[in-house]
Structure 1
Amino acid sequence: MFDAHLHFEAIVSREDGTIDWERAKRLVERWRAGGVRGVLAVSVDRPSSERTLELKERFPDFVFAALGEHPERPSSSEREFWALEELIRTERERISAIGEIGLPYYVGVERKSAVLERLRIFAALGRELDLPLVLHAVYDGAAEALSTLREAAIEKAHFHWLKASDAIVERILDSGYRVSVTPEICYQERARVLARKVRRRGEPILFETDGPWMYEGPFGGRPADPLWLWDVLRCTAEVVGEKEEDLLASADAAFLSLFGSS
C-alpha cells in the first residue's frame, strides 16, 4: 500500500521550520508496521520542498519526493519561484514528481492567470526532465489544467482529490493520467461515483490521504493518517464490488509505474 499524496513535511515540521526527527522516525516505523510501503511526499513551496528532500535523504526507501508550489497558497516571489525551479533541476535524480502544483479555485481571475503561467512552466519542466506532475485542480480548473498538460505533451500525471464533471474525468482518463480516492469514499457519494467510473473503464485507482487534512464522517476531528488507507481500500472495494487484494495490486502497480522506485 502506498499513500499517493501526503504532506509529510507539514506533519513533522516544527514552528521554526525544522523537522522533528524523532516524530518522523516514530511515524515511519508505525506506518511501515501497519503495511504502508511508501508515501508520495508532496511540497507546497521552496522551503517545504527542501524539507521534503531532507525526509527523502533520511528515509530513502520510504519517501517518494515531489517538489512544487501549491496553487491555493499565496504566490511566492519571482526569485523564490525560480529558486524552486532550479532546485527541481538540481535534484532531478532524487525526486519522483513535480507537485503539488495546479490551479487555484478560491481566488480571482487575475491571480489565477498568474498561477496558470507558472503551471505552464512546471509542465514544460516536467516534460523536459521526464517527471510526472501531481495536480491540484478542481471543478473548472481541472479542465484548464488538463488542457495545459496536453499542450505540453505530458505523459504522466496524477489529478489528486479530483472534483470535475463526468466529461472532464473521461478526458483525464483518456489522456492516460491517474486519479485517486481519499477517505471521502467512506462517506461521500461524489467520491463513490468517481471510483465506479474509473473501475468500469478498467483503470487503476490510486489511494491517498492528503494528510494532515481533516475529513468528516467517521474520520471527523482528526488529521488524516496513512494507516487510514486500509479503510479507504475497504470502502472502495465495497463501492465498486471488487476484491480488496485486486484493487490493492492494481493501485500498487500504478503507483510504481507513475512514480518509479523510491
Structure 2
Amino acid sequence: MPETLPAPVVDAHTHLDACGAKTPQDVREMLDRANAAGVDRVVTVADDLDSARWAAEAATWDERVFAAVALHPTRTSDFGDDVKAELTRLAGLPRVVAIGETGLDYYWDYAPRVAQHEAFRWHVDLAKRTGKPLMIHDRDAHDDVLAVLDSEGAPDRVVFHCFSGDLAFARACAERGFVLSFAGTATFRNAHALREAARWVPGDQLLVETDAPFLTPHPFRGRPNEPYCAAYTLRDIATLREEDPADLATMITRTAERIFGLRDVAES
C-alpha cells in the first residue's frame, strides 16, 4: 500500500467489476483500501451493457462510488434500439455521473469504424440530453475524435480518459475546454511525450485515474491495479510538475467534483 496522500483525491475512472468486485462487501473492501491510501471516491465505468447495469447498481452500495455508463467503442458492432433505450434509462439514474466510456478505438478491429462513429455521435447526444459529462475513450484516433466533437458540438463537460496524446494534442483539447485524465501510463519513464503533456496541462483541467485493473503505475507496471494505486500516480505527477502533492490533490478533487457534480449527487 502507498503512503497515505496528504489530501484526498478522486479516482476519475476505474472498473471495479473487472478488478474482481462482485458484491457490496467486495466494493466496500476495495474502497476501504483506496481510502487508506487517500483515494476517497471513485467513478466506476462500464464498457458493455451488463457492466453498465452493474456499475449503476454498485454506485448505490457505497456512497464513495459513482458510475459512468456507455458502450465501449470496441463493442459497438451491435448497437440497436434496445441497447440505446437501456443506456438512456441508466444514464438518467442520479448516481450515474457521466456518459462513458465512448469514443473511437483504431487499435483493435473488434468493431467497424462506421459503427464506432455512429455510436460515438449517439453518446455525444445522450450526454447533451442528460446534461452529464462525456467520458472519451481515444486510442490511436486523436484527429477523428476531435473532428466528431467539433462537428457534433461537444457537451459542456468532456473528459479524455487515460489521455494518450502529446503536448500538441493536449493543447488542442485544453483550448476546447476539455479535461485530461491521466492514468498510470503517465508515470512510465519511457512515455516522454505523454509526460510532457502531463507537465503542461492547466491544473484545473487535470484529473488522475487508475483505469484499474489495467495500466498499473510505475514502479508496479504489469501487476494488478486497484483504485488505491491512484495515489502513486498523483505523487508522480506532482513531482513531474514540481507541485506539492497536497495542493495538486486538492485541485484535482475540486475539478472532479465540478465535472462530475459529485457534491450535488451526494447531497441529493
Q: Give the TM-score normalised by the residue count of structure 2.
A: 0.85
Structure 2 residue identity aligned to 1:10:
A
1:16 alignment partner in structure 2: none
Residue aligning to 1:259: 260
Aligned partners of 1:217, 1:27: CA distance in 2, in Å?
20
Q: Is the 8 A contact 2:59 2:66 kept in 1?
A: yes
Whether 1:223 and 2:224 are equivalent positions in the alignment is: yes
Q: Does the aligned pair in 1 maintain the 2:204–2:252 contact within 8 Å?
A: no
Aligned-pair CA distance for 1:255: 0.5
SS in structure 2 opposite 1:11? Answer: coil
Q: Deviations over 1:39-67 (max 9, x none)?
A: 011101111011001101111x2112100
Q: 1:83-162 counterparts in 2 under 5 A?
A: 83-91=85-93, 93-107=94-108, 111-139=112-140, 141-150=141-150, 151-162=152-163
Which amino acid letter does the alignment assign opposite residue 143 of structure 1?
D
Higher helix share: 1
Q: Which residue of 2 aligns with 1:237?
A: 238
Task: Give the TM-score, by structure 1 length.
Answer: 0.87
Q: Which runs of 5+ in 2 are unaligned?
A: 1-8
Please point out which of 51, 57, 69 is paired with 1:48.
51
SS at match of 1:9: coil
- 1:213 CA drift (Å): 0.4
CA distance in 1, matches of 2:130, 2:100: 14
Say which SS state the counterpart of residue 106 (structure 1) adopts: coil
- Choose from 7, 10, 32 the match for 1:2: 10
Post-superposition CA distance 1:83-128 (Å, at most 9, x none): 333323542x331000111101224598111111111011011111
1:161 and 1:228 map into 2 onto residues whose CA distance is 14
Q: Which residue of 1 aligns with 2:68?
A: 66
Q: Which has the higher contact order (CA 8 A, sep 6+)?
A: 2
Task: Specify the code of the residue in structure 2 equivalent to 1:48.
Answer: S
Question: Cα–Cα, structure 1 residues 194 and 83, in superposed 2: closer, same or farther, change >3 Å?
Answer: same
Q: How many residues are matched?
A: 252
Alignment correspondent of 2:6: none
* 1:97–1:182 distance in 2 versus 1, CA, 3 Å: same
Distance 1:180 1:48 in 2: 21
* Identity between Structure 1 and Structure 2 (%): 29
In the aligned structure 2, how far is the partner of 1:239 from the partner of 1:94?
A: 33
